[in-house]
Homo-oligomer: A and B are copies of this chain.
Amino acid sequence: MRTLKYAILGLLNKESMTGYDIGKEFSKDLGEFWNAKHSQIYPELKKLLDEGLIVYEIQISGEVLEKKLYSITEKGKQDFLQWLKKEEPIEPTPKDVFRLRMYFSNNLDVATRLQLLGHQLLQHQDRLKHLRKNKERYNSIPPLDSDNFGDYLVLDGAILRETVTIQWLENYIDYCKKQ
């Protein structure tokens, strides 16, 4: 489906940046729903260059360090917008190793389950706390056409997802404790 292609085009459509910068974007809030390592980004940039969807210019940083500042082309913009507005069927639900393990958890004694669940709960509470802190940047919802509206959206989605994961864990913990 070439999703990474469109993730990169989308970022370059916002503003020109280097491959390294793209990697950093994926470690911010966007990374809650899409990401890639530099080892995947650089080859993809080369491919997009070959396809004429992006171009770059060399920038000198310091004395000699050459970095490639990539920009989206008109052709790239067309391709990106085409992808963005296409209606697609929903994807199969994503894989989740912990829930797979809990599917088989009747093989564990209750004390072990409580330990695993507690460990999981703590980590999700941490992630939620971190997301809520990021959301503090916004004291109101950004306008629909602003650059950081997307950022607000994914933050909100991630917070809802963590909240309900925690609820599921707590339900299971309560049920274990009642036995």
Residues in B with CB closer than 8 Å to A157 are: 99, 168
> Interface 1/0s, chain A 121-161, versus B by CB < 8 A?
00110010000000000000100111101110110111011
A81, B95: Cβ atoms closer than 8 Å: no
Q: Which of A34-57 contact B (CB under 8 A)?
A: 34-35
Flag if A88 contacts B98 (CB, 8 Å): yes
Which of chain B's residues has its CB closest to A151's CB? B103
For A31, list chain B residues within 8 Å (CB).
Answer: 92-93
Q: B99 near A1 (CB under 8 angstroms)?
A: no
Q: In the complex, which residues of chain B have a beta carbon less than 8 angstroms from the beta carbon of A59? A: none
Least CB distance, A129 to chain B, in whole angstroms: 14
Q: Does the CB pair B81–A107 fall under 8 Å? A: yes
User: Which of B33, B104, B115, B144 is within 8 Å of A176, CB to CB?
Assistant: B144
Q: Indicate whether A102 sits within 8 Å of B7 (C-beta atoms), given known contacts A33-B96, A164-B161.
A: no
- Would you call A97 an interface residue if the criterion is a C-beta within 8 Å of the partner chain's C-beta atoms? yes
- Give complex CA distance A161, B162 in Å: 10
Interface residues of A in 51-85 (CB under 8 A from B): 80-81, 83-85
Among A90, A115, A164, residue most surrounded by chain B Cβ atoms (within 10 Å): A90
B34, B85, B104: the one contacting A13 at CB < 8 Å is B104
Find A99's partner among B35, B93, B106, B154 (CB 8 Å cutoff): B154
Distance, CA A176 to CA B171, complexed state (A): 34
Known contacts A35-B95, A80-B104; 13 additional CB pairs below 8 A are A6-B100, A13-B104, A30-B103, A32-B93, A33-B93, A34-B96, A34-B97, A34-B99, A90-B123, A91-B98, A99-B153, A105-B150, A161-B164
